[in-house]
Amino acid sequence: MKEKEDQPSLHRHQHQKRIVNVTKKLFANNAAYVILLLLSYALGYLSSPTSHTPPPPPTTPIVVSSKPSSSITLTRLTDNVPVPTNQLDNFRVTSRCGDSLPSQLVRQTIVDRLFNATSPYTNFPPPHVSQLLRTKRVKGWGSYGGVFKRLIDKVRPRVVIEVGTFLGASALHMANLTRQLGLDTQILCIDDFRGWPGFRDKFKDIQMINGDVLLYYQFMQNVIYFNATEAVLPVPYSSGSALMKLCEWGVVGDLIEIDAGHDFNSAWADINRAWQILRPGGVIFGHDYFTAADNRGVRRAVNLFAKINGLQLQTDGQHWVIDSAVN
């Protein structure tokens, strides 16, 4: 009986002995030892009851607003990170404009706010540039197209806002057209009057003092030459900052021309900001719909703006036209 009881113990002893012998052989081989160590680690990691993958951070779902596109509703992932309700919201202009000024107050408002209540034409030109200006130097592109007369005849604007002026060709043309109709029209010319890098390669007669090109002074000289100082007033700032301030001050235009930057982003921003300050029933229009500049983004910006706002777009020669009265 005792011999039978000892048999399982003997078998266990022999089995353990075989394991020890195999282990000795494995440990005698360095590569086998490393493999065994890695297998042991992997088995231990996989058998762990706790997941080692960090949980994703909690998020708040984006809720699409049912409000009109002019109003943006935001949800928040954190207190400081607003999430737009759709992809176009990042590109919309939603500033609130001030109450619309009567047209007869527009000129004095600009003079007061920009020029310390004194007309910029007073005591012009300053001595340091008087010998550097030409009596007149007017140059533009598409500045005398029939679209100007047709729109002025139709709209009979009290306030015209021009975005992109250069030397004032189209502004002076519009001043002459409104004068012929007996209109008391104020034309605001938004431009930083810096031109573009390298423009003096084509306009070598535009002088420079200490790196300051004299476009602004030559523009003013042109206005004086054509006796248009009461009708044409410069707003010598970038289009973005100027349009934003006109919106804030309640300055609105019956007719707005866009002809500044020709890349998509510049044209898109100018059109959207100008639309905000267009008087109901007014017309916004611009150049370069059918010129080489359309490849740089003007036409794309105009088409997209009209499409997402459901507006009718017309063309007149090289110009595009959006009439708010029919939209």
SS3 per-residue string spanning 179-191: HHCCCCCEEEEEC
Q: What's residue 196's pLDDT? A: 86
In this structure, what token pair is assigned to residue 170?
């189209």
Residue 237 lies in a domain: yes
Residue 52 maps to a domain: no
Lowest mean pLDDT among 64-68, 99-103, 172-176, 296-300: 64-68
Same domain, 133 and 268: yes
- Alpha-carbon distance of 254 to 281, in angstroms, equals 8
Q: Is residue 299 part of a domain?
A: yes
pLDDT in tens, 126-156: 999 999 999 999 988 889 999 999 999 999 9
Q: Is position 51 within any domain?
A: no
CA atoms within 13 A on the CB side of 86: 12
**Which residues span the domain enclosing 37?**
2-46
74-78, 171-175, 257-261, 299-303: the lowest-pLDDT one: 74-78
Q: Which residues pair with 297 in a beta bridge?
A: 263
pLDDT class of 75 with cuts at 50, 70, 90: very low
Structural domain contains residue 303: yes
Give CA 290 to chain center in angstroms: 22
pLDDT band at 184 (very low <50, low <70, confident <90, very high): very high
The 3-class SS string of 83-129 reads ECCCHHHHHCCCCCCCCCCCHHHHHHHHHHHHHCCCCCCCCCCCCCC
Does residue 172 share a domain with residue 221? yes
CATH of the domain at 289: 3.40.50.150
What DSSP designation does 65 have?
P
* Shared domain check, 263 and 215: yes
Q: Given a cut of 90, is residue 66 above it in pLDDT?
A: no
pLDDT, residue 32, reads 56
Q: What digits encode the pLDDT tens for the residues 199-209?
A: 888 888 899 89
Tell me the C-alpha distance between 120 and 14, whole Å: 111
pLDDT of residue 327: 87
Q: How many domains does the chain have?
A: 3
Q: What is the pTM of this model?
A: 0.73
307 and 164: one domain? yes
Residue 290 lies in a domain: yes
Question: Same domain, yes or no, for 82 and 111?
Answer: no
In the numeric block, the tokens 């975005």 are attached to: 163
Cα–Cα dist 214/27, whole Å: 88
Q: Are residues 209 and 77 in the same domain?
A: no
In this structure, the answer to whether residues 123 and 174 fall within a common structural domain is: yes
The three-state secondary structure class of 20 is: helix
Please, what is the angle between helix 264-276 and helix 298-309, to 10°?
Answer: 40
Same domain, 107 and 80: no
Residue 36 has pLDDT above 50, yes or no: yes
Residue 252, C-beta contacts closer than 8 angstroms, at least 6 positions apart: 97, 100, 101, 159, 246, 277, 278, 279, 282
- Res 179: pLDDT: 98
Domain closes at, from 38, 70, 92: 92
Cα–Cα distance measured from residue 176 to residue 148, given in angstroms and rounded to the nearest whole number: 11
On whether both 174 and 312 belong to a single domain, the answer is yes
pLDDT of res. 199: 84
Average pLDDT of the segment spanning 105-109: 98
Sequence length of the chain is: 327
How far, in Å, CA of 2 to CA of 112, rounded?
A: 120
Distance CA 306, CA 327 (A): 10
Q: Does residue 97 fall inside a structural domain?
A: no
Q: Do residue 81 and residue 163 come from a single domain?
A: no
Residue 259 lies in a domain: yes
- Does residue 149 sit in the same domain as residue 288? yes
State yes or no: pLDDT of 53 exceeds 80.
no
Query: Are 72 and 94 in contact, with CB atoms under 8 Å apart?
Result: yes
Does 65 have pLDDT greater than 50?
no
Choose between 69 and 320: higher pLDDT: 320
Q: Which of 35, 66, 92 is the last residue of a domain?
A: 92
Mean of the pLDDT values across residues 245-272? 96
In terms of domains, do 141 and 236 share one?
Answer: yes
State the DSSP H helix or E strand holding residue 285, giving kind and residue range, or none if neither: strand 278-286
**Pairwise pLDDT comparison (277 vs 65), residue with the higher score:** 277
- pLDDT tier, 198 (very low <50, low <70, confident <90, very high otherwise): confident
208: three-class secondary structure by DSSP: strand
Question: Among the three residues 38, 67, 92, which one is the final residue of a domain in this structure?
Answer: 92
Query: Would you give the DSSP letter of residue 130?
Result: T
